Every structure is written in C-alpha cells, then in structure tokens.
Amino acid sequence: MPCPAIDLEPYKAEITALYQRNEPVAAIQDYLKESFNLQLSKRTLESRLQEWGLLHQDRTVSINTDVQARIKVLFFQVGLEDKDILYVLHQEGVTLAPCTLRRMRKSLGLVRRTDSPFERQRQTEAILQALIEESEKGKIQGFGRGLLHQYIRTKGHIITRARLFQAYRTTFPDRVFARRHQLQRQRGEYIVPGPNFLWSVDGYMKLEPYGIEIYAGIDAYSRYIIWIYCGITTRTAISVLNQFLDIVETVQLQPQKIRSDHGSERGRFQDIYLQLQQAALYKSRTYFRTLKDKGLFSKSCTADQIALLSIYIPIIRTEIYGYVELWNVHQIRKQRNRPNSVAGKPYILYHHPKEGVRGYGLPIKQEVLDIQRQSVHRFDIDEYLPEETLRFCRTVLLGIGFDPERPPPLQPEDEAAPFRTIYLELREIISFHIDLFVEPFLGLLSRPTAGRRSNPEVD
C-alpha cells in the first residue's frame, strides 16, 4: 500500500520563504524536522516545490544584507545565542534554519570560540589590552561577569565569559574582591507574571548637590530599563508625570501598575544604581566633590552651576544612556536564594518573552493622552539651562575648541579631573559676564512647582 501523501499546504508559506531566501533543500528539510517533527525526503520536497512553481525560479545569490546586519546586532550588541537569534528573527518575520544561521555567522566572522592556540593567545592579548584601556576610562568599574562580557562583546571582541573573567580577575583582583563583598546583602523578592504588569520608578540623588538628578522606570518582570531621565529636576510631580507621559506615548502602552519608593523592587534599583554609580558616575561624583572641597564649585553660585551643567550634563547623559543599553542586553543569571527571579536578558524578556508568558501592557487612547497632556503645565524635561544661557556657553566652548556633545578623548593624567581646565575657564568667563550685567542675561532654569491645572480647557 502506498504511503499517504504528506499535506504541506499548512507549511507552504514558510517553505516558500525559506526557498526564496536561498536556503538549500537540505536546510529546509532540517527546519521542518526540527520545528514540526516533519520528516521529508529530498525528492518529496523538490516535487512539491515544482508543483508550486518554485523549483526553477531564480533565487537571490546571497542572503539579504538587512538580515545579515540584524544578525550582527543580535550577536554583538544584544549578545544572543543562536536559538534566541532564530526566535527573534522569526518573530520579526525572518525564518532561517539553524544550520543556515551557523553558516551565515561563520561567513560574517561571528565565531564564538576557537580551538587554535595561536588565535586564543591573540584573543587573550587583545582582551588584556582592552580591559586596561576601558578601566582607565572608568567604564567597567564594578562590573560583574555578565555586564563585563556583554560590554567587551559590544566592542567587537569575541571571547568566552569564563576566559574573559579569568583575565579580569588576574588583572584586577582587588575589584573582584570588593564586588563580592558588596553583594553580601539581603534583598527582597516579589513575583510578577509578565512584562508591563508592574513598572517600578525611583530616583538617584547622589549628584543632586551639584544640580544633576536621575530618575528611571524599570519593568519589574524583565528588569528592562524602560526609560531614564537625567536633568535638573526629578522630585517634582510635574517632571515625573511628563516623563511617564512621554514614554507611554512612545511605546503606545501603559502598565497595569506602577510602584515607587517602597517594597522589594527597591532592591532592584539598588542593584542598577550601584552598577551605574560604579560604571558611569563614580568618577564624576568624586570629581565634583573635589571641586566643591577646593572651593571651585558652590551650588549657591550661578556661574559655577551654569559652567558645570553646560559641560557635564551632555557627557553624563551619554554615559548613562550607554550604560542602559548595556544593562538591557546583559545576562541575568538564576539565583538560588531567589527562585522566582526570571533569568535571561532584559531585552529578550521584555520584547520577546518565552511562550506561555503574555504581555500585560494596556493600550492607550490618543484622545485620553491628549487630555492628560493638557492637564499639566508642559515643559521640556530635557532642558537644563535657559536657551540664551546655553547658546552663550556653547559659543564660548566652541570658541576654545571644546564641544560637550562630542568631547575629545581624555588623557590618562586627566581621568580624575575630566576637562577641569575647560570648566574653570568657562566659569571665569560666565562670572565676568554676569558682573557686567549686559545681554544676554545668564541664569538658571526655575524648577517647576505646579502640577495639574485645576480647570484644564478640553474641547
């Protein structure tokens, strides 16, 4: 009795997509077997392709360059393993067989490990040099295994996490000991069913004595940092509300719940802000304190505040945003003492949760959002100096060859006091200009104190 014909119509769209992406017939066979437990002979598959009018079609010689670029991003910037890359690509409408992805990675030079002793030695030497350079920049202070591996990977270095951390521990044993000591603390635990069920919000005020404040929102399930704000005001209701409305409008959804300043989620922010302080802010905080101790900065002095904000806020924002990108793609390991903590990369846990985990975000209505916008005194939360004051400072800084949006690399001897000479020169110029009492009149932005309007005008 002949075998019953296999119905491939339910899989036609995927088979067609694979074939038109230049997948070999053997690769399509592997994909169908791995994904649907469907075992086909080469002859059967080719026969069906011929029936569909595909077998003799001209196919592209190479995989789409956009797909190649996306694979590079997912490999280096996001740091995904092959199964996760395939999962994300599939959700984005690109279907590849596992063997095809492996072949593409190798053709792009994206090899995870090597058995060549010469290549391993070259990798080790390059990594040691990179660790020293990044340490001198203050970029990897306080990093654990996951963050360190992800950071080095985003710089284009391919090395296993174990080999990388061994090199780090050999080079900086005191930092490894200090981090282990800091982690000996008790933290609470909470259970969240999925992304956008609960957003936790909190602020970092260690730079507040110098006029700089930081506020962030994190998804409690994935630990994905949804937004972070760096500016001059975080402790006013209008600032926090505007931050929230901005992100809600951007992502077009809102969480089921929001929690602030209490509960076990505070431990999550302690982790994030501790890492942030050590990786991106500890040098700034130490340096600002030194300026204050030496009488070179006072929060009561307008010239001091203007000079510090105009030079360092753009730099600190760049460092913070870079850290957030790194945090969102680093690997969170399973924790024996916190069994309900979800392991994985925040980016994947938030944007591509595993099967069985649903998103809890609530859709927003634009008309409701517009009403909310009208009900608050709108102000630009990204502003940190009045427009005329900022323009004056930019003109002066560019005149002396310094652009705070694109600062030059620091020399090793200047790491402890970044751009101190520029700060002192600008400070003196601003002070002299203020004393002249001529236009443009320089000053600071006033903090918003109002919240909702009592009677918003709504059409």
The length of the chain is: 459
**In Å, what is the CA distance from 9 to each residue of 44, 45, 57, 327?**
13, 12, 19, 43
337, two tokens: 């003492």
* CA-based torsion, 261, 264, 267, 273: positive or negative: negative
Question: Bridge partners of 219?
Answer: 199
| pLDDT given for residue 279 in this prediction | 60
Say if CB 434 and CB 425 are below 8 A apart.
no
**pLDDT recorded at residue 275:** 65
Q: Which residues pair with 228 in a beta bridge?
A: 216
pLDDT over threshold 70, residue 188: no
DSSP state of 73: I
Helix (H) or strand (E) holding 279: none
Indicate if the pLDDT at residue 454 is higher than 50. Answer: no
Has residue 428 got a pLDDT over 80? yes
Other C-beta atoms lying within 10 Å of the C-beta of residue 357: 15
Most confident of 99-103, 143-147, 189-193, 296-300: 296-300
Rounded to whole angstroms, the Cα distance separating 61 from 176 reads 49
- Between 268 and 213, the more confident residue is 213
- Model pLDDT, residue 118: 67
Q: Work out the average pLDDT over 83-87.
A: 87
Query: pLDDT tens for residues 297-314?
Result: 999 999 999 999 999 999
Averaged pLDDT, 205-224: 91
Give the mean model confidence (pLDDT) for residues 90-116: 78
Give the residue with greater pLDDT, 386 vs 115.
386
Reply yes or no on whether the pLDDT at 400 is more than 60.
yes
**From residue 395, how far is each of 316, 398, 420, 431 by CA, in Å?**
20, 5, 18, 16
Percentage of the chain beyond pLDDT 70 is 81
Is there a contact between 196 and 255 (Cβ–Cβ < 8 Å)? yes
Measure the CA–CA gap between 106 and 101, rounded to whole angstroms.
Answer: 9
Q: Write down the pTM of the prediction.
A: 0.70
Residue 190's pLDDT is 65
| 408: helix, strand or coil | coil
* Distance set, CA 325 to CA 147, 169, 215, 227, 439 (Å): 11, 24, 16, 11, 41
CA distance 229 to 240: 9
The arithmetic mean of pLDDT across residues 209-226, rounded, is 92
Q: 31-59 b/e with 16+ CB inside 10 Å = b?
A: bbeeeeeeebeeeebeebbeeeebeeeee
Q: Are 345 and 80 in contact (CB under 8 A)?
A: yes
Confidence of residue 397 (pLDDT cuts 50, 70, 90): very high
pLDDT tens-digit series, residues 261-292: 654 445 555 666 666 665 667 788 889 999 99
| The pLDDT of residue 429 | 97
Nearest to 324 by CA among 282, 275, 361: 275
**H or E segment to which residue 201 belongs:** strand 198-204
Contact in structure between 21 and 96 (CB atoms under 8 Å): yes
Cα separation, 368 vs 194, in Å, equals: 25
> Is residue 436 a contact partner of residue 377, using CB atoms and an 8 Å limit?
no
Over residues 62-74, mean pLDDT: 78
116-139: average pLDDT: 74
What's the pLDDT at 458? 33
Which residues are CB-neighbours of 243 under 8 A, at least 6 positions away?
Answer: 215, 217, 227, 229, 381
Q: Is 90 exceeded by the pLDDT of residue 395?
A: yes
Q: Any long-range contacts for 294-303 (C-beta under 8 Å, 24+ apart)?
A: 296/424, 296/427, 297/210, 299/209, 299/210, 299/211, 302/430, 302/434, 302/442, 302/443, 302/444, 303/427, 303/430, 303/431, 303/434, 303/442
Backbone φ/ψ region at 223: left (φ over 0), alpha (ψ -120 to 50), beta:
left
